[in-house]
Structure 1
Amino acid sequence: SNEMPLTEKVKIVASLFPKLSEPIVAKNLTDLSKIIAEQNPKDAKALALYGDVLYQQNKLREALSQYQEALKLNEQVYSVWEQIINIQTHETFNEEFECAEGEVIVRGHCVMKGYFNKPAETAEAIDKDMWFHTGDIGRFYKGNLQITDRLKNMIVNAYGKNVYPTPVENIYLKSPKIDQLFLIGDKREFITAIIIPNRETLEETFKLKPSFFEEADPFIQNKEIIDWIEQDIKKISNELAKFERIKNFKIKRNPFSIDEGEITPTMKIKRRIVEKKYDEAINEMYEEGVEAES
């Protein structure tokens, strides 16, 4: 079990009552934390402590109730409990439950205690409260946990807004004109993209010959083709928050390539390699006077 040691909980209890004049008689720690919570209904830390004890006993509904009461008094108390709100069990499953995206973290007897003989890696993955940080981005939708992205892929723009590339890219991929796209925007004022068009649709629409795809310039400069793609980008952007929308883009003539080292064998784009390789084209998109919408 990853339960907080009893000695640590006693320290917390003691810190709540530094000037206790009368002893509290309790059968066990659960009873003690309950008495403290009942005697101090306006003490967020006391309520959260009781919630923590209940949680360790898998009494999730009661634990959540105590934590919610604590939150009303202090939004910062036991910040790790913000993750516990999202716990679903067979008893508490709610098919209507939904929440915003965030990192998926887990804790419990079935979770590893660390990496063998690797203290640095363990400290990076498992925090002081024994929560294992999976590196996955997820959300609850209709009661079920959906994994939507990887934390390492997350874009944080210049205004501190988080953009999760995979779900945003999937929205734009509704366009039959687009086969693939790569979002850029970390520490930048707005989102840009490298877009791979659907070759068959592109050839048919503009009556292109194979030689068109063999030209040296990796990006398509034809204004008619750019305008054609832009029509769908603008239309689909209305489905996204302003800070998630593509403000400028380049159309790549050919798909990202395994041979060029741009994607993995499982077809995942190698972000750092692509950003470095097309650094000049990316910077051009941010030098063209596009207005950001934060």
Structure 2
Amino acid sequence: VIFGDQQDFVATLVNVDPIVVGKWAEDRGISYSTFMDLSAKPEVAELIREEIVKINGNAEKKHFRIKRYAILYKLLDTDDGELTKTGKIRRKFVREKYQDLYDALYDEGVEEKEVEAFFQYQDGQTANVKTRISFYTMEGVS
């Protein structure tokens, strides 16, 4: 989810593809047990950084470059209201739901934040889990 409207720079909450990134991790012998575990791996953060370097290199204008990012600990989901039924991101809803992460993206002094995640599983069970999110700043982007 890309943000930047009425901000000094572009920032993003990245939602990694569990199949693609999971296979990438397995091919490199990086073990993980859950999506949350996979998304928190430093190696995954480095993979995302490398991809953002490529994206920034193709940006038409300097102010289109991504300066800050964090990797979301869960998949965006239609059942949670984060996606439409056709799979489009509901940006305003996502921003409001993850307001604390959004605020941290735009506070360059924040490198890590503890969050409490609420999960509702398909069988109806629920769980609250605490996790830490790391925030990264791209070098050379103003």
Who is 1:285 aligned against?
Answer: 105
Who is 1:205 aligned against?
Answer: 24
Determine if contact 1:193/1:248 at 8 Å carries over to the other structure.
yes
Deviation at 1:253, TM superposition (A): 3.5
Who is 2:85 aligned against?
Answer: 265
Distance 1:212 1:286 in 2: 28
| Secondary structure of the corresponding residue to residue 13 of structure 2 | strand
| Secondary structure of the corresponding residue to residue 193 of structure 1 | strand
Q: 1:248 aligns with which of 46, 54, 68?
A: 68
Who is 1:69 aligned against?
Answer: none
Q: 1:232 aligns with which of 48, 51, 66?
A: 51
Structure 1's unaligned 5+ residue stretches are 1-181
Structure 2's unaligned 5+ residue stretches are 110-136
Who is 1:119 aligned against?
Answer: none
Who is 1:192 aligned against?
Answer: 11
Amino acid at match of 1:188: Q
Deviation at 1:214, TM superposition (A): 5.5
Q: Percent identity?
A: 27
Deviation at 1:183, TM superposition (A): 0.7
TM-score, scaled relative to structure 2: 0.65
Q: Which has a greater percent of strand?
A: 2
1:257–1:246 CA distance, 2 compared to 1 (3 A): same
Deviation at 1:248, TM superposition (A): 1.1
1:281–1:202 CA distance, 2 compared to 1 (3 A): same
Deviation at 1:236, TM superposition (A): 2.3
Amino acid at match of 2:35: F
Structure of greater Rg: 1
Determine if contact 1:191/1:246 at 8 Å carries over to the other structure.
yes
Determine if contact 2:65/2:141 at 8 Å carries over to the other structure.
no
**1:75-154 maps to which residues of 2 (within 5 A)?**
none
Deviation at 1:230, TM superposition (A): 0.4
TM-score, scaled relative to structure 1: 0.34
> Over the residues paired in the alignment, what is the CA RMSD in angstroms?
2.3
Determine if contact 2:40/2:73 at 8 Å carries over to the other structure.
no
Distance 1:282 1:263 in 2: 17
Determine if contact 2:2/2:10 at 8 Å carries over to the other structure.
yes
Moved over 6 A (4+): none
Deviation at 1:259, TM superposition (A): 0.5
Distance 2:85 2:24 in 1: 31
Deviation at 1:292, TM superposition (A): 5.7
Distance 1:205 1:246 in 2: 23
| Secondary structure of the corresponding residue to residue 255 of structure 1 | coil
| Secondary structure of the corresponding residue to residue 102 of structure 2 | helix
Q: How many matched pairs?
A: 108
Deviation at 1:274, TM superposition (A): 0.3
Determine if contact 1:192/1:248 at 8 Å carries over to the other structure.
yes
| Secondary structure of the corresponding residue to residue 69 of structure 2 | strand
Q: Which has the higher contact order (CA 8 A, sep 6+)?
A: 2
